[in-house]
Structure 1
Amino acid sequence: METISAIEEYQAKIGQEQSFLLFVKTANCSVCEGLRPQIEAFETDYKLPFHLVNAAEVPELAGQLMLFTAPVVLLFRQGQEIHRFARFVPIEELRRRLDELEGSLNA
């Protein structure tokens, strides 16, 4: 996962990448640390890029995306958020949504 460390980097991703996954975590979040390896394991299965941001380090991004908890997994297509999974992420549902998103890229 590529780390985003400034809101400008996020805005560039929105403008440049057709689709991507954004994993948002915070410092000292045990749920975030438990979920992260599961999300990273999906990276090799999909062509779309995966990005990581620490909301504590980029608080303006958390504000812009209206994030009130962590972890959050966001899926984007053509600059728009299409799915949001917050706090407890159902892994099979996430995989299904990633499959749909990947399928739309290939269509």
Structure 2
Amino acid sequence: MKSITKYEQWLDIIQQEKHLLLFVKTTNCSVCEGLYPQIAALESDTTIPFYVANAAEVPELAGQLSLFTAPVVILMKNGKEYARFARFVPVQEVIEKLQELKKWEE
């Protein structure tokens, strides 16, 4: 996963990428640390780019995306939010939504 460290970087990414997955975590979040490797492992099964951001380090991102908890997994399609999973993220549902996005790429 590529890291996002500035809000401006996020704005550039959503302009450039057709589809993407954004994993948002925060500092000292045990749920985030447990979920991150599970989501990161999905990256090798798809061509959709994955990004990670720490809401504590990029508060503008959290504010603009209305993120009130962590972890959050957001799938973007053509610059718009396609699916959002927060706090207790069902990995199987993320896989299903990634497969749907992959069909849009074909």
Q: TM-score range by the shorter chain?
A: over 0.9
Question: CA–CA distance in 2 between the matches of 1:99 and 1:20?
Answer: 12
Q: How many residues align?
A: 106
Gaps of at least 5 residues in structure 1 are none
Question: CA–CA distance in 2 between the matches of 1:63 and 1:5?
Answer: 14
Question: CA–CA distance in 2 between the matches of 1:53 and 1:29?
Answer: 13
Question: CA–CA distance in 1 between the matches of 2:30 and 2:11?
Answer: 28
- Cα RMSD over matched residues? 0.4
Question: CA–CA distance in 2 between the matches of 1:28 and 1:64?
Answer: 22
With structure 2 as the length reference, what TM-score do the two structures score? 0.99
In structure 1, what is the equivalent of residue 24 of structure 2?
A: 24
Residue 81 of structure 1 deviates from its aligned partner by 0.4
2:101 equivalent to 1:101: yes
Percentage of pairs with the same residue: 58
Gaps of at least 5 residues in structure 2 are none
Question: CA–CA distance in 1 between the matches of 2:20 and 2:10?
Answer: 11
